[in-house]
Chains A and B, each alone.
Chain A
């Protein structure tokens, strides 16, 4: 596995080196456009050249994330659309901070990034020459034949060169992943939006999700108030009235009084049932008692589907996260039963030290799309309050996998008191 990763890193270094050349070519085009601005022709060239450069930098950011896990915040796309005049669009591009960062990157990438990724490649190619070519050609090369610091003119020196070549090969392969991650960080240094912009975005996101969370909470309180008013409260009023009637007929008609009292018993039972349902909707008791793992197991037991639950959590999560994840799983299960026509569902709960990961896979017909279903979008919005993400893989014909990730801490398990 590690060897495979190292070899992949070698290939990626090679690719990054070639891309650095492409980047510098496009960068030159942009500079040409800038130089031509005074004579007017530059306006024609600047928009496509800058857009091409932005596409390259966007891909570079995406690659850094994919290859090395380095997340780089992207700048906003250029302002304007094709209906704008060329001058106006070019002006917008020149005023764009991201454009100048792209340009600086385009000029530095070949010299710094390109050279960086070339280091393991040099070791590899030179190592390959030493192991695969030298042993066969040294006889024909005569006296001046050196391999690194070894003069190759006899079989023992050839073997030394061979060993050295193998060493270079290994060094190149071992180095490649580290160099690649260094390259990722270098790319972030050049291509990430400034901290200030990142923070502004973060604040906008938080303001947005906070407003949503407050809306959800207010709606929830309204629902609880309405449920209490229409349910338990109404039943208690009815109870009082029935008791009053029973008291009045107690002496004159004991049989009727007994009937009314039996009614009181039934109404009490129903009021209790109402309250139980309400409490379950606010804070499911198993969730409060045992945490997310057992609460999801309980959901699985109540489901009509065959649900397999795999809990890999060694502790409790923060209560709001538990609650959000619980209701999200409940909704996903309901979707699997209702819309996907699934029979079997697999649920995995996992925490990697930073993020809770819940994956729900069903064998239904697939084709779920958050853009179409309001339920999925609502789920996505509720997870956003916790900086959570919902990823959905649902090809037509299934299977559907919903992955919910919420960053949070995992506290150590409470010690039992009995």
Chain B
């Protein structure tokens, strides 16, 4: 898998490069600023890009804007955005820039190598990956607005993991359920919330996110 990496801190860039290589990815370009990132995204034809939001020269949301711009020019270009903090506004902007092949994670998540590399692969395969913190905030908001009051605690757990972009297999493993139990829960959730079920994993994430953002 060909990866473009954008991170301005040398230590992190170095660590991420090593992690990705150990898991069989080829880092075709590793850059440390916004303009070089945009060039690499458009010229190096990566399978996926891992991008830090805050990059020189402005040290604001340079990385995010480069990612959105690149996806505008190359629709569906898979990009996983990492950030020191997550914000609903940025999550929405990323989600609005095309369906799927996009991820938004806290930088802390790279400390769990397995999960991080898994997220990179899911994004590369066209999936949507959202940080648990984004989802937790969305869920507590929906709960306060009484939008998901009819769900059981188990179903809430499943909903949370679905919104993060996990497949039934992954949810089953994380919650120690059988896959068929997960399928039953998801069907019940879709019924209660009146969301049209979808067999396609990515469509499902988008539908759940759209519901929670209402």
Contact code string A401-418 (vs B, CB < 8 Å = 1, else 0):
000000000000010111
Complex: A316 Cα to B111 Cα, angstroms: 36
CA distance A290 to B53 in the complex (A): 13
Q: With A304-B145, A417-B34, A417-B58 in contact, do A268 and B89 touch (Cβ < 8 Å)? A: no
Q: Do the beta carbons of B141 and A304 come within 8 Å of each other?
A: yes
Kindly state whether residue B60 has any CB partner on chain A within 8 Å: yes
Which residues of chain B come closer than 8 Å to A417, judged between CB atoms? 34-35, 57-58, 62
B40 CB within 8 Å of chain A: no
Are B84's CB and A285's CB within 8 A? yes
**Contact yes or no, A280 B111, CB < 8 A:** no
Q: Is the CB of A416 within 8 A of B65?
A: yes
Q: Does B201 contact A (CB under 8 A)?
A: no
Q: Which of A101-109, A138-146, A295-303 contacts B (4 or more CB under 8 A)?
A: A295-303
Q: Is the CB of B111 within 8 A of A268?
A: yes
**Which B119-158 residues sit within 8 Å CB-CB of chain A?**
137, 141, 144-145
B85 and A298: CB pair below 8 A?
no
- B88 & A301 in contact (Cβ 8 Å cutoff): yes
User: How many angstroms between the C-alpha atoms of A214 and B66 in the bound complex?
Assistant: 40
Question: Are A286 and B89 in contact, CB atoms less than 8 angstroms apart?
Answer: yes
A272 & B108 in contact (Cβ 8 Å cutoff): yes
Given contacts A285-B84, A286-B89, A290-B60, contact A418 B65 (CB under 8 A): yes
Q: Could you give, for residues 60-74 of chain B, a 1 whenever the CB lies within 8 Å of some chain A CB and a 0 otherwise?
A: 111001100100000
Nearest chain A CB to B40 CB, angstrom units: 12
Interface centre among A268, A269, A417 (most CB of B within 10 A): A417
Residues of A near B35 (CB, < 8 A) are 417-418
- Say yes or no: is A289 at the interface (Cβ < 8 Å to chain B): yes
Query: Nearest residue in B to A296 (C-beta to C-beta)?
Result: B89
A262 to chain B: closest CB distance in Å?
11
**Interchain CB contact (< 8 A) of A301 among B57, B89, B111:** B89
Closest partner residue, chain A, to B56 (CB atom)? A417
Judging by beta carbons under 8 Å apart, are B141 and A302 in contact?
yes
- CB contacts (< 8 Å) of B34 on chain A: these are 417-418
Closest to A276 in B: B85
**B38 adjacent to chain A (CB < 8 Å):** yes
Determine whether A219 belongs to the interface, using a CB cutoff of 8 Å to chain B: no
Q: Which residue of chain A has its CB nearest to the CB of B34?
A: A418
Asked if B92 is at the interface (CB within 8 A of a chain A CB), the reply is yes
Q: Which of B98-119 contact A (CB under 8 A)?
A: 108, 111
Are B57 and A297 within 8 A (Cβ)? Answer: no
Contact mask for chain B residues 7-40; partner A; CB cutoff 8 A; 1 contact, 0 none: 0000000000000000000000000001100100
Is A285's CB under 8 angstroms from B111's CB?
no
Q: Chain A residue with minimal CB distance to B91?
A: A301
Q: Which residues of A contact B87 (CB under 8 A)?
A: 285-286, 298
CB proximity to B under 8 Å, residues A252-269: 265, 268-269
User: Within 8 Å CB of B145, what residues of A?
Assistant: 304
Neighbouring B residues of A269 by C-beta, 8 Å: 108, 111
B residues in contact with A288, CB < 8 Å: 60
Say if the beta carbon of A250 comes within 8 Å of chain B.
no
A298 → chain B closest CB, angstroms: 4
Q: How far is the CB of B178 from chain A (nearest CB, A)?
A: 27
Contact call B144/A304, Cβ cutoff below 8 A: yes
By a CB distance below 8 angstroms, the chain B residues around A416 are: 65
Contacts of A303 in B (CB 8 A): 141
Whether a CB of chain B sits under 8 angstroms from the CB of A279 is yes
CA–CA, A303 to B87, complex, Å? 13
Q: Is the CB of B69 within 8 A of A418?
A: yes
**Complex Cα distance A418/B69, Å?**
8
| Pairwise interchain contact A301-B62, C-beta atoms closer than 8 A | no
Chain A residues within an 8 Å CB radius of B92: 301
Q: Is A220 interfacial (CB 8 A cutoff)?
A: no
Q: How far is the CB of A363 from chain B (nearest CB, A)?
A: 15
Instruction: A357 to B44: give the CA distance in the assembly, Å.
Output: 47
CB contacts (< 8 Å) of A285 on chain B: these are 84-85, 87
CA distance A280 to B83 in the complex (A): 13
Closest Cβ neighbor of A268 among chain B residues: B111
A97 lies within 8 A of chain B by Cβ? no
Q: What is the minimal beta-carbon distance from A189 to any residue of chain B, in angstroms?
A: 50
> CA–CA, A294 to B141, complex, Å?
19
C-alpha gap A276/B106 in the complex (Å):
11
A9-38 residues at the B interface, CB under 8 angstroms:
none
Q: Is the CB of B61 within 8 A of A289?
A: yes
Which residue from chain B places its CB closest to the CB of A272 in the assembled complex?
A: B108
In the complex, the answer to whether B111 meets A265 with C-beta atoms within 8 Å is yes
Q: A302 and B137 in contact (CB under 8 A), knowing A280-B85, A286-B89, A417-B35?
A: yes
Bound CA–CA A322/B137 (angstroms) = 25
B115 to chain A, nearest CB (A): 12
Complex Cα distance A188/B50, Å? 65
Cβ contacts under 8 Å, A272 to chain B: 108
A residues 347-378 with Cβ under 8 Å of B? Answer: none
**Cα–Cα distance between A265 and B144 once the two chains are bound (Å):** 32
Binding site for A on B (CB under 8 A): 34-35, 38, 54, 57-58, 60-62, 65-66, 69, 84-85, 87-90, 92, 108, 111, 137, 141, 144-145
Question: Could you show 27 A-B contacts with beta carbons less than 8 Å apart?
Answer: A269-B108, A276-B84, A276-B85, A279-B85, A280-B85, A285-B84, A286-B87, A288-B60, A289-B54, A289-B61, A290-B60, A290-B61, A294-B89, A298-B88, A298-B89, A302-B141, A303-B141, A304-B141, A304-B144, A304-B145, A414-B58, A417-B57, A417-B58, A417-B62, A418-B34, A418-B62, A418-B69
